[in-house]
Amino acid sequence: MFKLTPPLGWNTWNTFGEKINEQLILDAADEMVRSGLKDCGYEYIVIDDCWAMKERDENGKLVADPAKFPNGMKALSDAIHAKGLKFGMYSCAGTLTCAGYPASYDYEFIDAATFAEWGVDFLKYDYCFHTPLIKAKYLYRRMGAALANCGREILFSACSWGIDETQKWIKTTGASMWRSTTDIFDSWSFIKKLTAQQKELHPYNGVGCFNDMDMLVVGMGGRGNVGKESGCTFEEYRSHFSIWCMMGSPLMIGCDIRSMNEETGSILMNRDAIAIDQDPSCNQPYRITDCRYPDEDVLIYARLLTNGDYAIGVFNMGDAEHSADFLLDEIGLPISCGKTLLMRDVWSGKEEMPKNNTVSVRVKAHDCRLWRCKVV
């Protein structure tokens, strides 16, 4: 399935792990609509691992656990579609999923047909328990071919964590997104680590197949399946979201949206930040390195947007407050061009302008500034 912009949605794994069931999914779908998340573009409701019975049926088909999903997946998918949302599920390229449930190795075409029958719109495809005898690219091509021939449009979300230089072959599989990081956990150290993992991968992100930096932990507050870490502060979650938007990652919410507070909603539903993520050009973000106070922990990124605006972000990944001071030359606006920027802070709405072609800010530890800038 050809996607023009990074997919947006919600996924069960980060908060719920194996504690999933039909009512939870329906409630989350209702909340997606009621809260306004759907109006902001979030559309996929994705059930991650742990939905299946441990055995296939006599025809080799996967079976949804009736204790968790008493009405089956087709009924659930119909209910989700009736709310104007799309339905996602999960399998794996190995013999078992990461949590030990049956997976699709050598069952690719049977499983793709089952997902089509159930009305699935999105398949996350993991990489645990894979045979060492067959390369990752062959395993992902199998499911890619099976999905492309299943008679239904199903978005293929590959999740091999960048193994075997996934970026070099993933576009041969028909995938619309691919996990370009290891797994996220709910703490600043993971946000920092996953951000660093993108450093060399920006050129591979773009229209049709997006670098997936993993599901968001915004709003988890240290609770839930990947919440055993300390959790993050409001500023850290805001930086996390800003980085994912600046880098054009899919935005898959991972918190319990049924109990989302105002702060969490204000991050996840910031339309200016989402517009940067969803900018139709999908131009590559790049790091500004020509700055007066260089520091490996201070990341300054820019991205040219479709209408000629720029997204610019200063991300202080370090543990101390820091100055950032950079020239506009590096983004193509030398002083000789006679142009400057009108910078609108995505989080505060305040406008400011560079002085002498230089942007100067101080950013607190783990905090960020994110602007949408007009060339004036």
Catalytic residue numbers read 126, 183
Q: Which is nearer to ligand GLA, 17 or 208 (CB)?
A: 17
268 binds ligand GLA (CB under 6 A): no
How far apart (Å, rounded) are the C-alpha atoms in residues 172 and 185? 30
Count of beta carbons in the 10 Å neighbourhood of residue 288: 20
How far apart (Å, rounded) are the C-alpha atoms in residues 162 and 176? 15
Q: Which is nearer to ligand GLA, 1 or 96 (CB)?
A: 96
Cβ pair 205, 333 in contact under 8 A: no
How far apart (Å, rounded) are the C-alpha atoms in residues 196 and 363? 19
Q: How far is the CB of 13 from ligand GLA (least distance, A)?
A: 5
> DSSP states of 241-259 as a string?
HHHHHHTT--EEE-S-GGG
Q: Which is nearer to ligand GLA, 48 or 367 (CB)?
A: 48
Q: Which is nearer to ligand GLA, 180 or 340 (CB)?
A: 180
159 binds ligand GLA (CB under 6 A): yes
Query: Pairing state of beta strands 310-316 and 368-375?
Result: antiparallel
Binds ligand GLA (CB under 6 A): choice among 1, 26, 99, 116: 99
Window 9-68: residues binding ligand GLA (CB under 6 A): 13, 48-49
Binds ligand GLA (CB under 6 A): choice among 98, 194, 299, 327: 98
Judged by CB under 6 A, the number of residues near ligand GLA is 9
Letters for 120-149 (x = contact with ligand GLA by CB under 6 A, - = none) are: ------x-----------------------
Six-digit token pair at 182?
């290891």
Six-digit token pair at 373?
């800038």
Q: Which is nearer to ligand GLA, 160 or 242 (CB)?
A: 160
Q: How far is the CB of 92 from ligand GLA (least distance, A)?
A: 8
Part of the chain binding ligand GLA (CB under 6 A), chosen from 22-30, 62-70, 95-103, 139-147: 95-103
Candidates 131, 135, 71, 75; CA nearest to 104 is 131
Half-sphere exposure of 20 (CA within 13 A, CB side): 27
> DSSP states of 125-159 as a string?
EE-TT--TTS-HHHHHHHHHHHHHTSSS--EEEE-
Q: How far is the CB of 49 from ligand GLA (least distance, A)?
A: 4
183 binds ligand GLA (CB under 6 A): yes
Part of the chain binding ligand GLA (CB under 6 A), chosen from 69-77, 94-102, 143-151, 272-280: 94-102
Six-digit token pair at 136?
């990752």
Letters for 269-308 (x = contact with ligand GLA by CB under 6 A, - = none) are: ----------------------------------------
Residues 6+ apart with CB under 8 A from 23: none
Place of tokens 């006679």: 338
Q: How far is the CB of 72 from ligand GLA (least distance, A)?
A: 22
Q: Which residues are near ligand GLA by CB under 6 A?
A: 13, 48-49, 97-99, 126, 159, 183
